[in-house]
Amino acid sequence: MPVEPLATLEIVRFLASGPTPEQIIAFHPSPEATDRFYALIAAEREGAITDEERAELDRDIHLEHLMRLIKAEAHHILQQRASYFAYSSEVSTA
């Protein structure tokens, strides 16, 4: 089994832990994963990126997109909860 890049492992472990919507919104990759991402971008810009690094960068970009979608859904869930609780308290005080 191939070793997954650091960013992939961090996200998989985080999501497997069953985070709350608040924890999902607050999630950020480690400084090491972020540094690796920017190093891959720099290598690409310099034209010095290997095929393996290109695949890693593509995965990281895809993961970043997925995390943005997941965070947007977490925001939506929190908004729904807030609306529900606001409505519930209005109904109970009426």
- Predicted confidence (pLDDT) per residue in 10-39, tens digit: 999 999 999 999 999 999 999 999 999 999
The pLDDT value recorded for residue 52 is 95
Distance CA 7, CA 27 (A): 12
pLDDT at 5: 85
Could you tell me the two tokens for 26? 């607050």
Residue that wins the pLDDT comparison between 7 and 84: 7
55 vs 42: CA distance, rounded Å: 15
**How much is the pLDDT for 4?**
82
Domain parsing of the chain, residue ranges? 28-93
DSSP string, 44-93: HHHT---HHHHHHHHHHHHHHHHHHHHHHHHHHHHHHHHHHHHHHHHHHH
1 pLDDT higher than 60: no
Question: Which has the closest alpha carbon to 7: 44, 25, 32, 27?
Answer: 32
Tell me the pLDDT tens digit for each residue of 39-89. Answer: 999 999 999 999 999 999 999 999 999 999 999 999 999 999 988 766 666
Residue 91: per-residue pLDDT: 62
